[in-house]
Amino acid sequence: AQSVTQLGSHVSVSEGALVLLRCNYSSSVPPYLFWYVQYPNQGLQLLLKYTTGATLVKGINGFEAEFKKSETSFHLTKPSAHMSDAAEYFCAVRFTQGAQKLVFGQGTRLTINP
Amino acid sequence: EAGVAQSPRYKIIEKRQSVAFWCNPISGHATLYWYQQILGQGPKLLIQFQNNGVVDDSQLPKDRFSAERLKGVDSTLKIQPAKLEDSAVYLCASSLDVAGTGELFFGEGSRLTVL
């Protein structure tokens, strides 16, 4: 079955530290991959996406993600966390076979410690 | 450019009552989505429209939920009768493309509490 898994519902890092949020999907065919961020009481905002081409994609606010087909992963990273990065992050996958709906992971809440 | 507009932002009702949510997508966006986001979970697609036609409503509880997009612009999502488990944020989103590679633009959501 096609699914999206985010490892860790809560991640806490210190300000200035590396941020790593994990996302894995299950599909035999490479899908389209997205990361969205949600600040409190707001809608979701696109951080970055991978559809084709270069597997390392850069997004807004210094975030980037790498599509690794062999690992069926699309982990989100940022070299140095800022207090304003505290939010909920969602990995989303649009599978290119079958029902092509956009499926979201369960989310990872990122907390930044001063 | 105006974003996706949703109303109301908050609604509290008792179980078995009805509620309706309204969404106005970004001008020119052909595709409109309604997602349900339960606390602590990721958004779940309820229904997807392309213009005024339904593309996917496989996860819409059709015995109590209905949605329409009559003129291919704004949309209404209705719940009747509401159950306790319907307490969630209902997110509307729109996108310009139909190929699936484009960005979804989300509204701020309508938070429903069913007592």
> In this predicted model, what pLDDT tens digit does every residue of B49-88 receive, in sequence order?
988 899 889 999 999 999 999 888 999 999 999 999 999 9
Q: Are B111 and B11 in contact (CB under 8 A)?
A: yes
Q: Where are the beta strands (DSSP E) in chain A?
A: 3-7, 10-14, 19-26, 32-38, 44-50, 56-58, 64-68, 73-78, 87-94, 102-104, 108-113
Q: To which residue do tokens 């989103």 refer?
A: B93
Task: Please indicate whether, in this complex, the C-beta atoms of B40 and A102 are within 8 angstroms of each other.
Answer: no
Task: Please indicate whether, in this complex, the C-beta atoms of A49 and B40 are within 8 angstroms of each other.
Answer: no
Q: What is the mean pLDDT of residues A82-86?
A: 96
pLDDT at B100: 65
Pick from A44, A96, A99: CB nearest B106: A44
Two tokens at B22?
């309204």
pLDDT category, A98, cuts 50, 70, 90?
low
pLDDT at A52: 86
pLDDT category, B2, cuts 50, 70, 90?
confident
Amino acid at B89: V
Q: What is the mean pLDDT of residues B88-111?
A: 87
pLDDT at B84: 97
Task: Please indicate whether, in this complex, the C-beta atoms of A46 and B103 are within 8 angstroms of each other.
Answer: yes
Task: Please indicate whether, in this complex, the C-beta atoms of A99 and B56 are within 8 angstroms of each other.
Answer: yes
Distance CA(B50)–CA(B31), nearest Å, equals: 4
Residues in chain A closer than 8 A to B107 (CB atoms): 43
Distance (Å) from the alpha carbon of B56 to chain A's nearest alpha carbon: 8
Q: Are A80 and A94 in contact (CB under 8 A)?
A: no
Q: Are B14 and B102 in contact (CB under 8 A)?
A: no
pLDDT at A30: 79
Q: Are A21 and A38 in contact (CB under 8 A)?
A: no
Nearest to A107 by CA among A44, A32, A62: A44
